Amino acid sequence: MESTAGRWWAPGRVNLIGEHTDYNDGYVLPMALPLGMTCTARARPDGAVRLRSRQAPAEVDTTTTALATAGWSEFPTWSRYPLGVIREFERRGHEVPGIDLDLDSTVPIGAGLSSSAALSCSVALALRDLFAPTITAIELIDITRTAENVYAGVPTGTLDQSAALLCTPGHLLFLDTRTAATEQIPFDLEAFALSLLVLDTGTPRQLVDGEYATRRTECAAAAAQLGVPSLRDIPYPSEVGRLPNPLLRRRARHVITENARVLQIAEQLRKRADPRRIGPVLTAGHESLRDDFEVSAPPLDTAVDAALAAGAHGARMTGAGFGGSVIALVDRDRAGAVSSSVREALTAKGFPPPRTFTVTPSAGAHRLD
């Protein structure tokens, strides 16, 4: 019997390393979180599209025809992610006869853990299973990224969508964003008595949109001046010396050294080395984001410093920056002490107390029932 309803899941993600590399054709290394979006979907035959999210106030009631013809300003911002996915299915020739979507997420919104990709990917998977079973994962990544870029107006690379769709339990996803080649890299924290903490500082990422766009422009300018298609093509940080502008030199150095850090960590973990050995590389990544790329923020630096002082093997901001979350790699029996130290350090400076999660590499998007 053909399936006309069900529930789908797509996770949030945390990027272990590889920040601001995805729009430079570089490498990233995310894992799926045990937090995610549950999308309850029901096909309809009448062209109607009805959406609601437990985390958003207004319901949206429209039609597939309206999506093809209407100006999108009438739709609340949050709904442009799922509506964008529906519209992209149709635009690519995968007819959506109508759908009801009921959304409910456990991913904190705007914390750098990709609640937006959890939203768009859960919907995309539901649409695939209900209406277009032959669509490939690559096309789903392209559809969900287009939903974010074009319909929601957020110029992301493919990191978030790839992580939500392709991650597997117990693994990091090594992704080459130039070729879309992927590799599942084992990340067994349990075996080494380690924990990965995610500390959501709860600070709004006020500057993120404008600054993100500026960083993209700066990276493109640096690549052009170095005579390469993208910064991915520069293997040695010393080559930034050819850039006359010191600001572009710093921006380029972050991307080049960050790509090297992803490769180094992937290499260590592939060999099943003790993940404690990657700690200093994580911390170096934070310093590079703070000093060269200048996308950190005082609460993030405070949290990283406090985690390291309390014995974390490595800590860094994760996500685009200017707020959001920090990750810390800690001995399992130190997890409580490190969380407490970070909370004390943040509140002592007048920042809100963080929300702390202990995360394990979890499953990517899938059908629940």
Binding of ligand ADP by 170 (CB under 6 A): no
Q: Are 300 and 187 in contact (CB under 8 A)?
A: no
Q: Are 182 and 175 in contact (CB under 8 A)?
A: yes
Nearest approach, Cβ of residue 113 and ligand ADP (Å) = 6
Q: For ligand ADP, which is the closer residue by CB, 12 or 26?
A: 12
Task: Tell me the per-residue interface mask from 230 to 259 with ligand ADP, x by CB under 6 A, - otherwise.
Answer: ------------------------------
Residue 144 has a CB neighbour count (10 Å cut-off) of 32
Nearest approach, Cβ of residue 245 and ligand ADP (Å) = 30
Assign 3-class secondary structure to 179-213: CCCEEEEECCCHHHCEEEEEEECCCCCCCHHHHHH
Question: Cβ contacts of residue 2 below 8 Å, gap of 6+?
Answer: none
Angle between helices 246-270 and 208-226 (to 10 degrees): 90
What is the dihedral angle through the alpha carbons of 281, 287, 290, 296, rounded to the nearest 10 degrees? 50
Residue 226 has a CB neighbour count (10 Å cut-off) of 18
The window from 77-85, 189-197, 276-284, 290-298 that contacts ligand ADP (CB under 6 A) reads 77-85
Q: Are 252 and 243 in contact (CB under 8 A)?
A: yes
For residue 52, give the H/E element and its range: strand 48-53
Nearest approach, Cβ of residue 72 and ligand ADP (Å) = 13
Among residue numbers 80 through 139, which ones bind ligand ADP (CB under 6 A)? Answer: 81, 103, 105, 109-116, 119
Instruction: Indicate which residue of 160, 188, 301, 331 is catalytic.
Output: 160
Contacted entry of Mg ion, ligand ADP, none for residue 21, CB cut-off 5 to 8 Å set by kind: none
Binding footprint of ligand ADP, residue count (CB under 6 A) = 19
Nearest approach, Cβ of residue 195 and ligand ADP (Å) = 22
Contacted entry of Mg ion, ligand ADP, none for residue 77, CB cut-off 5 to 8 Å set by kind: ligand ADP
Q: Are 25 and 177 in contact (CB under 8 A)?
A: yes
Binding of Mg ion by 122 (CB under 5 A): no
How many whole angstroms separate alpha carbon 234 and alpha carbon 242? 12
What is the dihedral angle through the alpha carbons of 355, 113, 12, 266, rounded to the nearest 10 degrees? -110
Q: For Mg ion, which is the closer residue by CB, 116 or 195?
A: 116
Concerning whether 160 is annotated as a catalytic residue, the answer is yes
Nearest approach, Cβ of residue 158 and Mg ion (Å) = 12
The window from 50-58, 97-105, 110-118, 317-325 that contacts Mg ion (CB under 5 A) reads 110-118
Nearest approach, Cβ of residue 40 and ligand ADP (Å) = 13
Binding of Mg ion by 15 (CB under 5 A): no
Q: Are 177 and 158 in contact (CB under 8 A)?
A: yes
Binding of Mg ion by 158 (CB under 5 A): no
Binding of ligand ADP by 177 (CB under 6 A): no
Residue nearest Mg ion by beta-carbon distance:
116
How many whole angstroms separate alpha carbon 113 and alpha carbon 89? 25
Binding of ligand ADP by 155 (CB under 6 A): no
Residues contributing to the site for ligand ADP (CB under 6 A):
53, 55-56, 77-78, 81, 103, 105, 109-116, 119, 154, 319
Query: Which residues are the active-site residues?
Result: 160
